[in-house]
């Protein structure tokens, strides 16, 4: 190689080396840019339209939380869901505890008269939407559980009107949390509160002989609540969370091609020290070869669009279409390894989808049970079918099964009736429950896929063997 060529080669090499050094310096000194206040955006979208502080239940709920007395540990027995099943000492303690919450219950009822429940959220760290805290969600759940016990205690004393008013109050509190512009975690809490309220009503109906007037009151009021309820789960707030995470974990070069911040990739290696070297290298390589900001944003939009599409359907409609939306979303979420680790862009509707349909169907089933019991009280016998209740005015319409193209299955038994959904296998297994299903040997050739979802009769809670021979555990 001549001197001239050697000199040229050395100059080019020096330029390339300098460029690499500059690029390395820029890479290791660059930081994500926080350009959007997503906490403020969340407060903006979650705030009710035409907001009026006088219509906000938040101050009254907070007073109820402040006055609330937690359930004594002695009463926390998962195998007991009825006051009479406690011993005498525990029953006295239950009554004393509920009386101690009289003021909390009064504030709770005041809150129910308000149109909505809104709190301006604040971040606990770096104004990150992911560091917002929701202690009120746990407090509201505990408070409604106490109201449920109060309803059951009133029922044991024959005070069914008061008992059902408590249940309806809990259902309305759940409705306060069931708003599509809240984070999915909050919507889940709202649905769970509604589910608990309906379950308490079913237990009371199972354990008590309720007068017809109280049955009609609960049915009519609950039906009115459902007729006015337009809630369908939404993911708008969830999108804000993922975009906030995106701006804190990816570099922004102004072109949308910035990649995962190296510091994030480095920090992720620490918790997985026991993992394989291939796993660690994947994490670090994603800082160089992983998705760009634009690709992550596209994933957020894709998953949220599928969320909004699938959430309006029933499980049966999805099966009938022959399109597996949840698998499509799962495949999108698995597209980029680093995003799955960081939980960015992964907006999965599956959990809220099934919880939403469970809540709605459970409530429809309760209304049907109330109509059936009223019919039995008036005529002395159970109806032959659900359709028989509609023209006679006992029922607005037969409750639809989200797992079939028809209504919930109603069958007469020797001295009672069954009301159930065919469940996730979309097959009528005769009201087979999970308990009975577990007793069927897998080699039996029964052809049973999954158990049905039984709403009536109410499942009895069995005392687990581990609690036997334990005195007042």
Backbone Cα Rg of the chain: 28
CA distance 24 to 35: 24
Provide the pLDDT for residue 118. Answer: 97
pLDDT in tens, 174-223: 999 999 999 999 999 999 999 999 999 999 999 999 999 999 999 999 99
Of 101-105, 322-326, 447-451, the range with the lowest mean pLDDT is 447-451
Range list of H helices, 208-314: 212-228, 236-249, 262-269, 277-289, 293-310
CA distance 265 to 258: 14
Closest CA to 179 of 243, 242, 113, 119: 119
**What is the DSSP code (8-state) at residue 456?**
E
Domain parsing of the chain, residue ranges: 38-208, 237-345, 379-467
> For residues 190 and 174, is the Cβ–Cβ distance under 8 A?
yes
Which distant-in-sequence residues (6+ apart) come within 8 Å of 269 by Cβ? 280, 283, 284
Query: What predicted TM-score, i.e. pTM, was given to this entire model?
Result: 0.88
pLDDT in tens, 100-142: 999 999 999 999 999 999 999 999 888 999 999 999 999 999 9
CA distance 303 to 235: 10
Which sign, positive or negative, has the C-alpha torsion 90, 91, 95, 101? Answer: positive
CA distance 407 to 314: 13
CB atoms within 10 A of CB 54: 7
Instruction: Tell me the pLDDT band of 345, cut-offs 50, 70 and 90.
Output: confident
Buried/exposed code over 451-471 (b: 16+ C-beta within 10 A; e: otherwise): bbbbbbbbeeeeeeeeeeeee
Label residue 189 exposed, middle or buried (CB < 10 Å: 0-12, 13-18, 19+): buried
């Amino acid at each position: 190689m001549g001197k001239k060529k050697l000199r040229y080669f050395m100059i080019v090499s020096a330029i390339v080396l300098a460029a690499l050094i500059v690029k390395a310096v820029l890479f290791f000194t660059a930081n994500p840019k926080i350009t959007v206040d997503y906490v403020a955006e969340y407060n903006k979208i979650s705030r009710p339209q035409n907001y009026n502080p006088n219509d906000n239940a938040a101050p009254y709920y907070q007073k109820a939380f402040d006055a609330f007395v937690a359930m004594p540990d002695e009463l926390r027995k998962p195998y007991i869901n009825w006051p009479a099943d406690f011993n005498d000492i525990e029953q006295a303690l239950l009554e004393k505890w509920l009386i101690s919450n009289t003021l909390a219950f009064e504030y709770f009822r005041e809150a129910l008269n308000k149109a909505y429940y809104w709190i301006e959220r604040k971040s606990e760290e770096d104004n990150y939407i992911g560091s917002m805290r929701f202690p009120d969600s746990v407090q509201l759940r505990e408070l409604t559980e106490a109201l449920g016990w109060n309803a059951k205690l009133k029922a044991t004393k024959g005070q069914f009107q008061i008992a059902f008013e408590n249940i309806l109050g809990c259902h309305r509190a759940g409705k306060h949390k069931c708003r599509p512009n809240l984070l999915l975690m909050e919507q889940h809490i709202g649905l769970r509160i509604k589910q608990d309220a309906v379950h308490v009503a079913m237990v009371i109906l199972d354990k008590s002989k309720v007068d017809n007037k109280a049955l009609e009151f609960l049915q009519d009021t609950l039906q009115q609540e459902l007729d006015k309820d337009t809630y369908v789960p939404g993911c708008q707030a969830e999108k804000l969370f993922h975009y906030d995470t995106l701006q804190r974990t990816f570099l922004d070069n102004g072109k949308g091609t910035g990649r995962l911040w190296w510091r994030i990739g480095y920090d992720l290696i620490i918790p997985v020290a026991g993992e394989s070297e291939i796993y660690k290298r994947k994490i670090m390589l994603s800082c160089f070869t992983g998705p760009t900001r634009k690709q992550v944003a596209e994933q957020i939009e894709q998953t949220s669009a599928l969320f909004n599409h699938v959430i309006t359907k029933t499980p049966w409609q999805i099966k009938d279409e022959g399109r597996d939306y949840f698998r499509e979303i799962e495949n999108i979420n698995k597209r980029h390894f680093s995003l799955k680790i960081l939980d960015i862009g992964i907006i999965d509707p599956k959990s809220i989808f099934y919880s939403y349909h469970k809540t709605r169907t459970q409530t429809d089933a309760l209304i049907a049970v109330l109509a059936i019991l009223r019919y039995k009280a008036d005529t002395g016998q159970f109806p032959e079918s659900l359709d028989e209740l509609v023209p006679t005015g006992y029922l607005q319409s037969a409750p639809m099964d989200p797992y079939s193209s028809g209504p919930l299955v109603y069958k007469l038994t020797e001295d009672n009736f069954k009301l159930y959904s065919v469940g996730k296998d979309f097959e009528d297994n005769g009201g087979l429950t999970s308990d009975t299903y577990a007793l069927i040997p897998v080699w039996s050739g029964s052809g049973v896929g999954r158990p049905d979802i039984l709403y009536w009769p109410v499942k009895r809670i069995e005392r687990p063997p581990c609690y036997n021979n334990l005195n007042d555990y």
